[in-house]
Structures are given as structure tokens and as C-alpha cells.
Amino acid sequence: MKKMTMYVIVLTLPLLGIVGCKQGASAPADEAAADSVAAASVEEGRVEDSDEEMESQSGIYDAADVEKHWQNRPIKVTGEKSDIVALFGAFNKEWPTHEGNRIMHEADPASVPDDGFYEEGSIVDRKNGYVESSWFESEDLSVVSACVWNRKDGHKLFAVNMGKARNDMGEFVCFYDYDPAKKMLTPEESPVKKEHLLFPDKPIELYRLPHEGKSMEVEERGGLIFIDAIYTFDGQNLKYAGHDLGWTTQLQKDYEENDLDDIHYTLTKFALIDIDGDGGEEVWVRTAKDEDGAIFCFGEEGSPSLLITESEGKRPSIGKGWVGVGYPAGGPSYFNHYVTVRNSTGWHNFTDFQIEERHEYYSGDREISEAEAKEIKQHIKGEGKLLKPKWHKMASKYN
């Protein structure tokens, strides 16, 4: 026991002198020398193998590193198959991630040994050309999905979606052309362009690669609403097809039920406006030839609520915090209808029904006095303007 104790003391005392006790004149010099050697070692490692900087543990890559570097690396596909598993397996061999390993373990357990981390939770659909896996740990979410489209020239379009919730990284997609003759995945440019997006300066919320069908959805988020840019596959490439509001059917239904005109049209385009200046979007939906339309707000919950319908051939006037439309009601009668907006929500629904010189006033369906009407009118200030916003195409059925 004494011999062992003395051995430990002999080893420990020099370490105490180097690590930071600074007892003795040689300590600063020794520290400087050690720092110099460490710095040289780190720099040497960077030159020799940049992968070591990216790999966080056991050869696993972080999604942020894949996003930065995937476009610089074509990938060779080995074996005889070229289905979704073969293509994703080649990608995951080049850019291994925990989620990718879970997918490959599900597809072929022998290819990724079971270490208790890859037991379940992945989707491998060879028939539809789709794989997916996600992982939750504390507040961190990681996701990997991939799909394949058959191109009419005999090649394949292969896409891998990756993302992390950590640090609000968002998601990105790696696109490749697969050449069956060369058995090579070659990186290619994304079809998603800034000019297609409603909020080009904001990060994309998420990508939805098709598990079934052929269209990819790119979800954007404004102040209050989520809107999907749709990309349809034309047999060779993904093409921008317009935006799907997600609630298109509900908007059309509400417009038809509340519009007072005899003829109803199919709404095909939309514009984002901010009536009350609170940073939340109202959506103005119209027909292709501007025959008719309606304006919806979304409140704090992000659910559509009808503000006003147009009168055929008459665009609404929009003021600061209000929107109005006027239209004949038969004979000498005329409607002036206004809706005031606060916090992206319809506040007062007010109608001035004029029959020659006589006026009737309504708040919603309730008739009100002239005094009540005068108080409501105080919120309808300033001259209304006929806005000319930027219009966007609403995607029709796309699968």
C-alpha cells in the first residue's frame, strides 16, 4: 500500500504545477509551451480532415454542417438497386445522422446494428418512394425525410429534407439528380426561389415531401397565418404552382353564403393587406378576372373570419382600420357597408341603408339609433383608398 501511495503522489505533483497552481518560476513558461503545442495540434487537424470538425460524435453529422456542405459532394450509389432505400442509404453513408441511421435500421437492420436508439418510429415505404424519421429530446426536434420522383429521361429526382428545432435552424432540402448509367447522385439547385415566396426574408417553416402524390409543400409563416407554396412535378422537375391557403374551401363557402350578388365566382387569387396596421395579415381573395371577391381576417388564433364581400364590379375602399363597400339595393335605395378592424379581428359591422333622404342604421343585423350610428362612424375616419396590392395565384388541385 505504501508503494502504491508514493507512486500516485509522484505522478500528481508535477501535474499540479503545470495545470494552474503557478507555484515556481517555470509555470508560466510551461503553460505557454503547452498552449503552443495544443494550438499547433488543432490547426494541423483542420488541414488534415475537415470532416472531424463537422462530426459531433461517432461519425455523426449535425444537420447544420450538412446544410453548408452537401452541394459540394456528389455521391456514388453502390449495389444493383436504385429505389428509395438504396438512394437514401448512399446519402446516409456520406452524411450519417442519428435519424438517417434509424431509417436504415428500419429498412435493413443488418446495415445499422441495433444499439437501442434505432428501435422504432421510422417510416420506410418502398412502394411510394418515401422514408422518414424524427427524434425528440427535451426541446430539441430533429427530422429527416426523403422521397424520389421518376424523371421522363430515365433519371430520378431525389430529395432529402433535414432540420432541427434547436436554435430555430428550420429545415432545408438537398436535391439530387440520379443518373442510373453512372450510378451517381449529383447535387442540383433547389426549385424553391425567393420570388415564389410571400415572405422571402423570413426562414421557411418546414418542407413537406410527398409521401403520396407528387407535390412538395413549402410552409411559410407571416404575422398570423401559415401559407403553403406548392411545387408540382411535371415529369422532369418541380415547378411552382401557386400558394395553397389551407383554408381555401372555407373561404369559398363563406364568400358564397354571405355575398349578396346573384352570381358567385370561383376565387383564384389573393393578396395580403394589413387594414389596422397591427402587423397581422388580412387576406383579400378575388376571381381571376376581378369580377368579385371578399376580405377575411384571422384574429389571434389564425382562423379565417369573413370581414366583407364585394359587390360585383365594385372594389372595396380601405381606410385606416376599416373597409367599406357600397352597392345599390333596388330603386332609390343604396347600401353603404363598413367593417372596422382591431387586432386583426372584425370589430363593428355597420350598415347605412339609405332610401332617398331617409337612413336606417344597422350594427350587424340589429337596427340602431342615429346616435349609436354616429358613435360607430367615429371609427370610420379618413378617406378610403382603392388599393392595388400584389396578387398571388392560389394553387388549384395539385396532386
Query: Is the domain of 60 the same as that of 201?
Result: yes
Digit-coded pLDDT (tens) for 312-323: 767 788 888 899
Residue with cell 397565418: 225
When divided into structural domains, the chain yields a total of 3
Query: Is the domain of 61 the same as that of 10?
Result: no
Digit-coded pLDDT (tens) for 258-307: 887 777 888 899 999 999 888 889 999 998 888 889 999 988 777 788 99
**CA gap 52, 38 in Å, rounded:** 16
Given a cut of 90, is residue 70 above it in pLDDT?
Answer: yes
Q: Coil, strand or helix: which one is 92?
A: helix
Query: Is the domain of 273 the same as that of 187?
Result: no
Question: Which residues lie closer than 8 Å to 245 by C-beta, 6 or more apart?
Answer: 227, 251, 270, 283, 394
Query: Is the domain of 61 the same as that of 40?
Result: no
Range from 91-105, 158-172, 343-357 carrying the lowest mean pLDDT: 158-172
Query: Is the domain of 6 the same as that of 36?
Result: yes
Residue 227 falls inside a structural domain = no
**CA gap 109, 13 in Å, rounded:** 51
Q: How far does CA 201 lie from the centroid of its chain? A: 12
Query: Is the domain of 61 the same as that of 201?
Result: yes
176, 205, 234 — which closes off a domain?
205
**CA gap 358, 360 in Å, rounded:** 7
**pLDDT given at position 41:** 37
**CA gap 195, 175 in Å, rounded:** 19
Given a cut of 70, is residue 346 above it in pLDDT?
Answer: yes
Residue 225 falls inside a structural domain = no
In percent, the amount of the chain with pLDDT more than 70 equals: 77
Which is nearest to 263 in space by CA: 332, 309, 305?
309
Dihedrals phi, psi of 17, to nearest 5 degrees: -70, -35
Given a cut of 90, is residue 98 above it in pLDDT?
Answer: no
Query: Is the domain of 43 the same as that of 61?
Result: no
181, 205, 229 — which closes off a domain?
205
In percent, the amount of the chain with pLDDT more than 90 equals: 39
**pLDDT given at position 40:** 40
Query: Is the domain of 284 the same as that of 261?
Result: yes
- Residue 151 lies in domain: 56-205
Dihedrals phi, psi of 379, to nearest 5 degrees: -90, -5
**pLDDT given at position 96:** 92
Banded pLDDT at 90 (limits 50, 70, 90): very high
Alpha-carbon distances of 122 from 62, 141, 145, rounded to whole Å: 19, 14, 10
Residue 157 falls inside a structural domain = yes
Name the residue with higher pLDDT: 302 or 13.
302
**pLDDT given at position 55:** 54
Residue 222 falls inside a structural domain = no
Average pLDDT of the segment spanning 367-386 = 82
Q: CB–CB of 291/312 below 8 Å? A: yes
Q: How many C-beta neighbours within 10 Å does residue 175 have?
A: 20
Pick left, alpha or beta for residue 369 (phi over 0 → left; psi -120 to 50 → alpha; otherwise beta): beta
Name the residue with higher pLDDT: 118 or 322.
322
Question: Quick one: 279 exposed, middle or buried, by C-beta within 10 A (0-12, 13-18, 19+)?
Answer: exposed
Alpha-carbon distances of 241 from 33, 188, 218, 228, rounded to whole Å: 63, 20, 11, 11
**pLDDT given at position 82:** 95
**pLDDT given at position 384:** 64
Most confident of the ranges 234-248, 327-341, 375-389: 234-248
Residue 235 falls inside a structural domain = no
Residue 93 falls inside a structural domain = yes
**CA gap 61, 123 in Å, rounded:** 21
Average pLDDT of the segment spanning 114-136 = 79
Most confident of the ranges 139-148, 176-185, 241-250: 176-185
The x, y and z cell numbers of residue 237, run together, are 422537375
Q: CB–CB of 85/107 below 8 Å? A: yes
Range from 92-96, 130-134, 193-197, 309-313 carrying the lowest mean pLDDT: 309-313
Residue 144 falls inside a structural domain = yes
Query: Is the domain of 164 the same as that of 255?
Result: no
Query: Is the domain of 39 the same as that of 87?
Result: no
pTM: 0.76
Digit-coded pLDDT (tens) for 213-223: 999 999 998 88
Digit-coded pLDDT (tens) for 136-147: 655 556 789 999
Query: Is the domain of 282 the same as that of 358?
Result: yes
Pick left, alpha or beta for residue 343 (phi over 0 → left; psi -120 to 50 → alpha; otherwise beta): left
DSSP E strands in 91-152: the ranges are 123-125, 130-137, 140-150
Kindly report the length of the chain: 399
Query: Is the domain of 184 the same as that of 276?
Result: no
The x, y and z cell numbers of residue 12, run together, are 500528481
Residue with cell 370610420: 380
174, 205, 236 — which closes off a domain?
205
Residue with cell 370561383: 266
Q: How many C-beta neighbours within 10 Å does residue 367 have?
A: 13
Per DSSP, 158 falls in state E
**CA gap 38, 44 in Å, rounded:** 10
Given a cut of 70, is residue 386 above it in pLDDT?
Answer: no
**CA gap 225, 292 in Å, rounded:** 23
3-class SS string, 213-229: CCCEEEEEECCCCEEEE
Which is nearest to 146 in space by CA: 194, 94, 182?
94
**pLDDT given at position 114:** 62
DSSP string, 182-210: TTEEEEE--S--GGG-SSTTSPP-EEE--
Given a cut of 90, is residue 375 above it in pLDDT?
Answer: no
Residue 210 falls inside a structural domain = no
**pLDDT given at position 247:** 73
